[in-house]
Amino acid sequence: MKYLPVIGLEVHVELKTKSKMFCGCSTQYFGKAPNSQTCAVCLGMPGGLPVPNKKAIEWCILIGIALNGKIALHSKFDRKNYFYPDLAKGYQISQYDMPFAKNGYLILQNGKKIRIRRVHMEEDTGKLMHEKINGESVSLIDFNRSGVPLVEIVTEPDFENAEEVKEYLQALQQIVRYLEVSDANMERGEMRLEPNISLTVKKGVLPPYKVEVKNINSFKFVEKAINFEIKRQEILLSDGITPPQETRGWNETKNETILQRVKEEANDYRYFPEPDIPPIQLTNEIIEKLTKFIPELPNIKAKRFKSSYDLSSYDIEILTRDKNTADFFDKAVLDGKSFSVTPKQIANYIINKKPDIEKSVPSEIIKTILSSSKSNTIDEQKLTSVIEKVLQENKNAINDYKNGKTNVIMYLLGQVLRLYDEKIDPKLVKENLEKYLNNN
């Protein structure tokens, strides 16, 4: 290809705080009756005054810290003005020039650094539903989602292909889940993706345009949308046409991007400081305190698993995928130590048997591993003495066997298994029994 893709990414993550960003309404809107979780503030009534949600701000900052961002000591909210029916106020409260975090980064498996330009706090909008009522096409608005805390994470255009984007997204999803600030469930729209794509002829030279694809709700679609755009723009450029700066949407049935609107510039939004919310002042002490809430993050956990447990990358990848599994594994390793159950045995058990870790405790797993490993190794001395005892008591059976009635061995096998009184592989017992009968 004579063009190099230049890809950036905006990701919106809904926080799972109990209440909304600027009012006391519940954020649990999923499956609720339309407009049942609303008040004057999130319905955008005149005179409704926003009160910022402290927890949401702290969680936004946690995301910023986890993404290696620089946290702003002075910050503020701004109004982003635009008209859309799902935005009752006519503006969205967001952050413009003073986001909570700036200049972070995330490192991909291949060592490549993806720079994160900013992490800022804003509010979600309502939801439009296009339906038919009495044969008439209508648009209905549900404001239950209006005002739900939303964190936007914006990267620099550092990605060169869809695979890098996918890896970044998976890592980001894992981080917000580890932080326990969002479930980042794609199907529920708790994590929404907007790649911007353009093509350049020379690495490091930013193209004079960029195409943004809005509101994609799956990693698979984002990959498809990026690859579609690369091809579409390549054709235009090959014909000597610079693709126009625009916003497109992903059509999952047609498997293509479609034009939505010509891209707005920041000054079209007429951002200005939100007059109803005073600027937010932080101190280094507050930031330090918040930093203590950051758990061991996936990449650090993976390094520790490698150095202290000597597991394969495959094992580590699966065990650290979610925090609960990783914590469960850590506990099981501790419990297993005194029984000489190795981390590798525990990893194998968790990965292959997939126990429901919500319902089991690590010590139980250790017991199960111990009993199943016993059944595979036999105590030869014990087995020999049991076989001798059974044969002693069944002299007739031995004679029958020697006279060609070899079926009798099944009866003897049953007797041995009963007397052995521990889980043991019957095939192994039968082999031993035959050996004994033929040699004596």
List contacts with Zn ion (CB under 5 A): 23, 25, 39, 41-42
Closer residue to Zn ion (CB): 50 or 362: 50
Closer by beta carbon to Zn ion, 37 or else 75? 37
Q: How many Cα atoms are found within 13 Å in the side-chain-facing hemisphere of 282?
A: 22
Planar angle of CA 329, 164, 222, nearest 5 degrees:
100
Q: Which is nearer to Zn ion, 94 or 144 (CB)?
A: 144
Measured CA to CA, the distance from residue 313 to residue 434 in angstroms comes to: 44
Instruction: Compare residues 126 and 362 and give the one whose CB is closer to Zn ion.
Output: 126
**Least spacing, CB of residue 56 vs Zn ion, in Å:** 14
**Least distance (Å) between residue 23 CB and Zn ion:** 3
Q: How many CB atoms lie within 10 A of CB 157?
A: 21
- Closest distance to Zn ion from the beta carbon of 38 (Å): 5
* Identity of the residue, 39 or 398, whose beta carbon is nearer to Zn ion in the bound complex: 39
Q: Which is nearer to Zn ion, 57 or 171 (CB)?
A: 57
Task: Find the shortest distance in angstroms from Cβ 16 to Zn ion.
Answer: 17
Find the radius of gyration of the CA atoms of the chain.
31
Give the closest residue to 50 by CA, choosing from 38, 36, 40: 40
- Close Cβ partners of 259 (under 8 Å, ≥ 6 residues apart): 246, 247, 248
Rounded to the nearest angstrom, the gap between the alpha carbon of residue 317 and the centroid of all alpha carbons in its chain is 12
CB of residue 22 vs Zn ion: minimum separation in angstroms? 8
Give per-residue burial for 97-133: e unless 16+ CB within 10 Å, then b: ebbbbbebebeeeeeeebebbbbbbbbbbbbeeeeee
To the nearest whole angstrom, how small is the minimum distance from the Cβ of residue 57 to Zn ion?
17
DSSP state of 268: G
Contact 39, 24 (CB under 8 A): yes
Phi–psi pair at 354, nearest 5 degrees: 45, 60
In whole angstroms, the minimum distance from the beta carbon of 93 to Zn ion comes to: 13
- Residue 206 near residue 200 (C-beta atoms within 8 A): yes
* Min dist. Cβ of residue 147 to Zn ion (A): 6
Nearer to Zn ion, 34 or 295 (CB): 34
Nearer to Zn ion, 91 or 228 (CB): 91
Please state at what angle helix 380-392 crosses helix 408-420, rounded to 10 degrees.
Answer: 130
